[in-house]
Structure 1
Amino acid sequence: MIDVYSWATPNGHKVHIMLEECGLEYKVHPINIGAGDQFSEAFLKISPNNKIPAIVDPDGPDGEPISLFESGAILLYLAGKTGKFLPEDVRGKYEALQWLMFQMGGVGPMLGQAHHFRIYAPEKIEYAVNRYTNEAKRLYGVIDTQLSRHEWLAGDQYTIADIATFPWLRSWQNQGVELDEYPNLKRWFNTIAERPAVKRGVEVLASARKPLQDDKAREILFGATQYKRH
């Protein structure tokens, strides 16, 4: 059974969904990032970047336990372990990998910044809000164009690229986006949202997460605690 150290965030949900899609047995260990669980000594041994999610698989590739952090790396590991959601042919594999990298390097960081400056920042900085809202819309446009040509991000197969991207787009309203303006993306989004494994995955730890309202949690996530060397 795989141990999953996670929280109900887009990056956490990527791994929850993948585990559900692959039919793997797993046990969830909540890492409440608003309470500072990510800075515990035990978690830092697994995830030295103090970010969720992380996993420990007692049945690693050599029969020995393996721990992994970074959601993209975990998706690749689980795809390799199960032989699912990553094409076997070389061309198809790299088609999927480029869209996975697109999510890791663009969609996640940029939409994360949109969330921060639109919702969490203590002061509304117009330049930052406009910059990241516009970048969110640009990224949605890139995805919409790709999906006007293909059923899925990497072509004709549902892959880890779709699994990685979908959770970040669930908060489209918080990013200043109107989903109706991206009809191909909306079709893709609604199709994924109806998958039984996805429905189960997005519910993992969802009831434990509370709105970020108190000053202590904000300080932990965005203040000096976050930038302290651990």
Structure 2
Amino acid sequence: MIDLYYWTTPNGHKITLFLEEAGFDYRIHPINIGKGEQFAPAFLEISPNNRIPAIVDRAPSDRGQPLALFESGAILEYLADKSGKFLPEIGRQRYRVLQWLHWQMGGLGPMAGQNHHFRHYAPKKIDYAIERYVKETARLYGVLDRQLDDNDHVADDDYSIADIAIWPWIRSHEKQGQDLEDFPSLQRWFEQVGERAAVKRAYAKAEEINPDLIDPRNGVEMTDEARKHLFER
């Protein structure tokens, strides 16, 4: 059994996508980050950086005590190794997958996150910041589009944790000021992955957990309380 500490954000969706694909038995513990639940002492024991997602594996492969992990990239790599799925065990193809996983963690996610913040949530509109992050997001989309020109999936031909990590961030393309028609290979891949049964199941769970969400691509209804917990603590 995997205990998943989750909210309906791109980083949270990465883990439900993987768990649905791999067929793991898992239980979701919602952590409503708009209400500050990520600061609860019990959650901080699992995720000291007060961020979702996090997991506790109740039956780790080493048969030791339950294993807690935070950071979505580390969780994906761990679950891939545990299941033997979506990440080669050895060889250069493993590192092709991992380089794109780290590209998402260090580039696409942070830049798109800043894009979201300055376009939609910052108390004052700062034109320079908006332009900078929209353009950087577009540059990253272009990198991904070129990679997909000759590949069915992000790390060559096989579906992997690189695709799983990147897809939820592309789902928010409209909020990032991006038109997928400008990136035809990326658009083809995005639509193809979106038809996977596991992707549909994962997002159905998100709607069950957060039915009042105004925009499920965003993850948080931006009330004054949510703004305080997300940006002022």
Matched, 1:138 2:147: no
What value does the CA root-mean-square deviation take over the aligned residues? Answer: 1.0
Alignment of 1:1-230 (within 5 A): 1-64=1-64, 65-207=66-208, 208=210, 210-211=213-214, 212-223=221-232, 225=233
Q: Which whole-Å CA distance do the structure 1 matches of 2:222 and 2:24 have between them?
A: 35
Q: Is the 8 A contact 1:96 1:161 kept in 2?
A: yes
Give unmatched runs, 5+ long, in structure 2.
Answer: 215-220
Is the Cα–Cα contact under 8 Å of residues 30 and 205 in structure 1 kept in the other structure? no
Secondary structure in structure 2 of the residue aligned to 1:172: coil
Equivalent pair of 1:13/1:204 in contact (CA under 8 Å) = no
- Determine the C-alpha separation between the residues in 1 that align with 2:13 and 2:205: 8
Residues of 1 paired with 2:23 and 2:230: CA distance? Answer: 33
Partners of 2:205 and 2:126 in 1: CA distance:
34
Contact kept, 8 Å, 1:8 with 1:204, in 2: the verdict is no
Q: Encode CA deviations 1:20-56: one digit per residue, 9 max, x unaligned.
A: 0000010000000000000000000000000000001
**TM-score, length of structure 1 as denominator length:** 0.95
Amino acid across the alignment from 1:214: T
- Percent of paired sites with the same residue: 57
Count of residue pairs brought into register by the alignment: 224
Give TM-score, length-normalised by structure 2: 0.94
The alpha carbon displacement at 1:213 in A equals 3.4
Rounded to whole Å, the distance in 2 between the matches of 1:113 and 1:93 is 29
Which residue identity is paired with 2:213? K
Q: Structure 1: any 5+ residue segments left out of the alignment?
A: 226-230
Deviation at 1:89?
Answer: 4.0
Matched to 1:103, the amino acid is: Q
Q: For residues 55-109 of structure 1, give each alpha carbon's deviation from its aligned partner in whole angstroms, at most 9, with x where no partner exists.
A: 0111112112101000001000110110000023411000000000000000100
Name the SS of the counterpart of 1:164 in structure 2: helix
